[in-house]
Chains A and B, each alone.
Chain A
Amino acid sequence: MIPKYSFLKVIDTSGARVAQVIGFYGHQGGYASIGDVVKVVVKETRGEKTPEGSMRKAVIVEQKYPFHRKNGSYVQYTRNAAALLSEKGQPIGSRIKSLLSVEFVKPRWAKLRSISKRLF
């Protein structure tokens, strides 16, 4: 449940550290959840790969608010985190430092899964 202007920790190796959500893709306003693609502004970086102030797409990978799974369980993480994507929707980084959830089993996220460890 991530609203506009909230800060997300960037957990891939794209160089960015903190990104701020400025818009949503796929639906208007309200909140974004795990697996949603959002438009972000990179607020803090380490290195030259993604300059500060640049706008990118990102996919939300972790969320503090418990999200509901169809088997009835609720899952929550300790932080709100995202992985940066290119304009086409492919991840920029080479590794993801997180335990991805089963929401990323879709073929759309095949590349994202390949750079992560395992799905939970």
Chain B
Amino acid sequence: MRVEKCWFCSSSIYPGHGITFVRNDATVFRFCRGKCHKNFKMKRNPRKVKWTKAYRKLAGKELAEDATFEMEKRRNRPEKYDRELVGKTLKAIEKISEIRQKRQDRYYEKRMQKAKKQQLQADKVQLEKEVHLIKAPAGIRAEKEKLKEPVRQADTSKDAMEE
């Protein structure tokens, strides 16, 4: 059993999912779901479709080059079964994916550092422009008082009716 990568969006294809398409020139395309398959049939280039990993890596939104990616290459030569080797590999896989996740998170944080500043500036501009939408605290209190008055009046009228 092998977990393949979708040709279009680069997500993992688990057994029982997706369609494999073999072209006349013997190239094999695997798709994880109908969405990717249909996009392929429309002849869309995954490097231009914003939600695919190909686009994100090309546009620098995600970590593209790293030593941890090199370790996940496809090796076509089957290794002779060795229990120790399998155990070590499993542990290594865990560790490597941890490291890879941390590096990706760091990359994202770095990319988003500028966003905080930008957000602050945008907030400032918005405050200056739309300050008329905000009510001053004194005004809010005055409104609350106004709301209470009719309720008091209604109570007194009720008492009068009961009597």
Question: Which residues from chain A sit less than 8 Å from chain B, CB to CB?
Answer: 62, 66, 71-79, 98-99, 101, 117, 120
In the complex, which of the residues B15, B16, B17, B23 contacts A78, with contact meaning CB atoms closer than 8 Å?
B23
Residue B26, interface by CB 8 Å: yes
In the complex, the answer to whether A99 meets B28 with C-beta atoms within 8 Å is yes
Task: State which size class the interface on B falls in.
Answer: 10 to 19
Question: Which residues from chain B sit less than 8 Å from chain A, CB to CB?
Answer: 1, 15-24, 26, 28
In the complex, the answer to whether B22 meets A117 with C-beta atoms within 8 Å is no
In the complex, which of the residues B19, B24, B26 contacts A66, with contact meaning CB atoms closer than 8 Å?
B19
Residues of B within 8 A of A75 (CB): 19-22
- B22 nearest CB neighbor, chain A only: A77
19 contacts between A and B (CB under 8 A): A66-B19, A71-B1, A71-B15, A71-B16, A72-B16, A72-B17, A73-B20, A74-B19, A75-B19, A75-B21, A76-B19, A76-B20, A76-B22, A77-B21, A77-B24, A79-B24, A98-B26, A99-B28, A120-B22
Residues of A within 8 A of B1 (CB): 71
In the complex, which of the residues B16, B24, B26 contacts A117, with contact meaning CB atoms closer than 8 Å?
B26
In the complex, the answer to whether B26 meets A99 with C-beta atoms within 8 Å is yes
Task: Looking at the assembled complex, report how far the CB atom of A35 sits from the nearest CB atom of chain B, in whole angstroms.
Answer: 15
In the complex, which of the residues A62, A74, A78, A79 contacts B20, with contact meaning CB atoms closer than 8 Å?
A74
Residues of B within 8 A of A117 (CB): 26
Q: How far is the CA of A73 from the CA of B29 in the complex (A)?
A: 13
Residues of B within 8 A of A66 (CB): 19
